[in-house]
Amino acid sequence: MRILATIRLAIRALQRNKLRSLLTMLGIIIGVGSVIAAVSITSGATKQVEDQVSALGQNVVSVFPGSFTSGGARGGWGGITTLTVDDAEAVLKNVANIVAVSPEVRDRNQVLANGLNWNTMIMGESPDYPQIRNWEMGTGAMFTEQDVRSVAKVAVIGKTVADQLFPNEDALGETVRIRDIPFKVVGILAAKGFNLFGQDQDDTVVIPYSSHMKRVSRRTFVSSILVQVASANEITKVQSDINDLLKSRHRSLEPDFTVRTQLELAQVATSSSKTMSVLLAAIASISLVVGGIGIMNIMLVSVTERTREIGIRMAVGARAHDVLIQFLVEAVTLSAFGGLVGVGLGVGAAHIIASIKDMPVLTPLIWIGVASISSALVGIISGFYPAWKASQLDPIDALHYE
């Protein structure tokens, strides 16, 4: 019998007991629906985290100062003051596959302008900073290498700072005062939003690191070094090269610094949602199994009820194979249709939950595929035994079944 005709036959058989078919599908619908909803929400969250991690910059390796120990008291990360601009220059000069380096100096300070003031993060960076952070300029331009060398009093400000200090006018070309030192605003960064840790990235003022160290914070060490690697494949190699280089430069047995990659940050940030996904997948497979048992149960009932029909079909020439396929297709139709409805309801539910809780949603196509295939598989597995039982009936017994 042709497969299309068999499917039509199956649909008709299922339509005869609409309520029963619906109830049977419910297990699969709930199983698939909950998986799709959960996956949509967790992948949305994961995608958001990944976006935020990549917003940290393209292929970025960060060097942080290590902790120090003084008289048994251990300082936290960044306590040590050994990371210098020279280290940054040495990294750029000696480590292969590096595109850009920015020694970073960070400090919170009050910024004054236009009769207003605002407390913000003052960042000392190299001119490569926007490139490393994958950050577009809104208006104006980034300061230059020349500005770094001349310890220029120029600044590039974030959107939030611009809005706070120059609410109704263009900040470009204006002057902001940091510690009473006037800095000319040469550029305004494009809005970037919140980072992985919920901080407003636009709430910042970026000045040349030399100006920061000599004029603002009066420090000789840097807070961290940002290194951009040429390609993602070389990140691990660059990480270990920097490690080796700085170890020899600092002549220390225990490294007084750490080299972190974006990847590690991303892993930390997404590990919890991965655990969540595994848990959900486990619950989902349990509900699929339960749904499958429901289908098997109903198919067994159906085979018994339709024993005489099976007998008639066999009498007029249906082979065991024909009967097997007929009931198998019925079971698969039940489960596959349940799966499709489940996918639809799952996507719908995810969007409703997301819009209520203001979360991003993303339903990966692969999960829709996985859900459809696994529900069809559930149909095949749970439908096989009843269908096989039907196909093995004796035509005479089946015909005389009351």
Q: Could you list the residues that contact other proteins (CB under 8 A)?
A: 1-2, 5, 16, 308-309, 311-322, 395-396, 399
Which residue, 298 or 314, is less far from other proteins as judged by CB? Answer: 314
HSE, CB side, 13 Å, CA atoms: give it for residue 364.
13
Number of H helices, E strands in the chain: 13, 12
Separation between Cα atoms, residue 278 and residue 262, nearest integer Å: 23
Which residue, 17 or 117, is less far from other proteins as judged by CB? Answer: 17
Smallest gap, in angstroms, from Cβ of residue 341 to other proteins?
A: 25
Separation between Cα atoms, residue 269 and residue 116, nearest integer Å: 37
Which residue, 163 or 309, is less far from other proteins as judged by CB? Answer: 309
Kindly give the pairing relationship between strand 181-189 and strand 154-157: parallel
Smallest gap, in angstroms, from Cβ of residue 388 to other proteins?
A: 14
Which residue, 3 or 282, is less far from other proteins as judged by CB? Answer: 3
Residue 122: beta bridge partners?
107, 205
Which residue, 274 or 319, is less far from other proteins as judged by CB? Answer: 319
C-alpha pair distances (Å), 237 with each of 87, 96, 230, 233? 18, 9, 11, 8
Smallest gap, in angstroms, from Cβ of residue 21 to other proteins?
A: 15
Smallest gap, in angstroms, from Cβ of residue 399 to other proteins?
A: 7
Smallest gap, in angstroms, from Cβ of residue 4 to other proteins?
A: 10
Q: Scan for tokens 């429901």, then name that residue.
A: 294
Render the burial of 108-137: b for 16+ CB within 10 Å, e for the rest. Answer: ebebbbeeeebebbbbbbbbbbbbbbebee
Q: What letter represents residue 345's amino acid?
A: L
Smallest gap, in angstroms, from Cβ of residue 306 to other proteins?
A: 9
